[in-house]
Amino acid sequence: MPDAPAATAPRTARGERTAARLRDAARQVFADLGFAAARVEDVVEVAGVSHGTFYTYYENKAAVLDALVDETAAALLEVAEEPWEGEDVEATLETVIGRFVDLILREAAVIATWLEASAHDPHFRDRLRLVRGRVATQVAGHIAPVSRAGHDPEVVAGALVAMVEGYATRGLLTAADADRAAAVRTLARLWAGGLQRVADSGGAG
Partner DNA sequence: CATGAATGAGCTTTCATTCAT
Partner DNA sequence: AATGAATGAAAGCTCATTCAT
Q: Residue 145 contacts by C-beta under 8 Å, 6 or more apart in sequence?
A: none
**Contacts to a second copy from residues 20-49, by CB under 8 A:** 29, 32-37, 41-42, 45-46
Examine residue 126 and tell whether it contacts a second copy (CB under 8 A): no
From the list a second copy, DNA, none, partner contacted by residue 195 (C-beta under 5 to 8 A by kind)? a second copy
The C-alpha atoms of residue 135 and residue 77 are separated, in whole angstroms, by 7
In whole angstroms, give the CA distance from residue 7 to residue 63.
Answer: 10
Question: Binding to a second copy by residue 186, rule CB under 8 A?
Answer: yes
Nearest CB to DNA, comparing residues 61 and 127: 61
Q: How far apart are CA 25 and CA 183, in angstroms?
A: 31
x-marked contacts with a second copy along 48-87 as a string, rule CB under 8 A: ----------------------------------------
CA–CA gap between residue 9 and residue 29 (Å, rounded)? 23
Spatial separation of the C-alpha atoms in residues 50 and 66, rounded to whole Å: 21
From the list a second copy, DNA, none, partner contacted by residue 153 (C-beta under 5 to 8 A by kind): none
Q: Using CB under 7 A as the criterion, which residues of the chain lie in contact with DNA when the complex forms?
A: 5-6, 8, 10-12, 14-15, 17-18, 38-41, 49-56, 59-61
Closest by CA to 171, choosing from 103, 114, 105, is: 105
One-letter amino acid for residue 73 of the chain: A
- Nearest Cα to 174, choosing from 73, 104, 127? 104
Residue among 82 and 150 whose Cβ is closer to a second copy: 150
Q: Which residues within the stretch 145-164 sit at the binding site for a second copy (CB under 8 A)?
A: 150-152, 155-156, 158-160, 162-163
- Smallest separation (angstroms) from a second copy to the CB of 146: 11
Smallest gap from Cβ 110 to DNA, in A, equals 18
Q: What is the DSSP letter of 2?
A: T
